[in-house]
Amino acid sequence: MSLGGRFCEDVAESHMTFADSDVATSTGDVRTSPFRKAAPGLLGIPGMPSNHNVHDLLECPVCMNLMCPPIHQCPNGHTLCSSCKARVHNCCPTCRNELGNIRCLALEKVAESLDLPCRFQIYGCQDIFPYYSKLKHEKICKYRPYNCPYAGADCSVTGDIQLLMMHLKNDHKVDMHDGCTFNHRYVKSNAQEIDNATWMLTIFNCFGRQFCLHFEAFHIGTAPVYMAFLRFMGDDDEAKQFTYSLEVSGSGRKLIWQGIPRSIRDSHRKVRDSQDGLIIQRNLALFFSGGNRQELKLKVAGRIWKEH
């Protein structure tokens, strides 16, 4: 047993395959990148490997991502990233000794010496950054993959817009339409039974871009409401180039909403909870539906246009 350390209980390997993209970065960034600063003899430290094995030194043994400062080590010299240190309950995953609060300053210097491409290079980002700037950039990189915009299930698929369009069509069977105007009908035989419901997502191809039309039933406080809103399949700065309107009418009345589509960077729940869309109270929705005011037959008309 090493000095100052107590033997930790074994931790199953199945609990040690973590990934934390906000803290660490892919080892492939170093392995495939020609943009490394020279670090002869690895800062001149005797016995340390050459520059060619830098990626092995910086690879966290738990999550397998590149470590960034603070880099921790146990009394025996085994290193791991700060995120995984908290996850393994201060127990070294290699020798099971207590980690303590020892920093590996030599490896931190190595990490600071690197210039690396953005991890989203495969999606089109060609920028090169010093290590710390790279981590900050990747959180806001416009080429970072999008989450699947489908609201009916917790879908973990991510990718560029082209991949997501194929995924929505093939896996979620989403309706897709061409055009910048639309009339959509939402029907429910017993509207009183609806507490929380999400209707099928609809995609519109307009101006060469894609827009997601959402329609949901939920509560604001204790009041049951319906809400329709549009999300843009792209970033927020592009979304602001467009405007849309939604309209419901019936029994001689009309309700109109006009706004800017939200980027799919914002989840459908975030948009819904911000109430950024056409909101119709249940009683009013049934009034628009006509008939005996028990069945929901709501027609939502809409239009998308581009601001110049």
Pinpoint the alpha helices (H) of 4-44: 28-31, 41-44
From 37-46, 104-113, 134-143, 216-225, the region with the lowest mean pLDDT: 37-46
For residues 75 and 92, what is the distance between their CA atoms, to the nearest angstrom?
9
pLDDT-above-70 percentage for the chain: 79
Find the mean pLDDT for residues 96-120.
86
Establish whether the linkage from the previous residue to 69 is cis, with ω within 30° of 0: no
- Indicate whether 176 and 301 sit together in one domain: yes
For residues 263 and 245, what is the distance between their CA atoms, to the nearest angstrom?
16
- Indicate whether 179 and 297 sit together in one domain: yes
Q: Is the pTM of this model over 0.75?
A: no
Q: Which CATH number does the domain housing residue 89 bear?
A: 3.30.40.10
Write down the mean pLDDT value for the chain. Answer: 81
Domain presence at residue 17: no
pLDDT, residue 152, reads: 67
- Indicate whether 214 and 90 sit together in one domain: no
Q: Which CATH number does the domain housing residue 283 bear?
A: 2.60.210.10
pLDDT, residue 255, reads: 94
For residues 205 and 241, what is the distance between their CA atoms, to the nearest angstrom?
15
Which residue range forms the structural domain that includes residue 109? 55-140
Domain presence at residue 250: yes
Pick the residue with more confidence: 78 or 18? 78
What would the 3-class secondary structure string for 153-189 be?
CCCCCEECHHHHHHHHHHCCCCEEEECCEEEEEEEEC
Domain presence at residue 9: no
Domain presence at residue 27: no
Question: What total of structural domains would you count in the chain?
Answer: 2
CB count, 10 Å around CB of 269? 11
- Indicate whether 136 and 178 sit together in one domain: no
Residue where a domain terminates, one of 93, 117, 140: 140
- Indicate whether 128 and 194 sit together in one domain: no
- Indicate whether 236 and 292 sit together in one domain: yes
pLDDT, residue 122, reads: 85
Domain presence at residue 86: yes
Pick the residue with more confidence: 111 or 49? 111
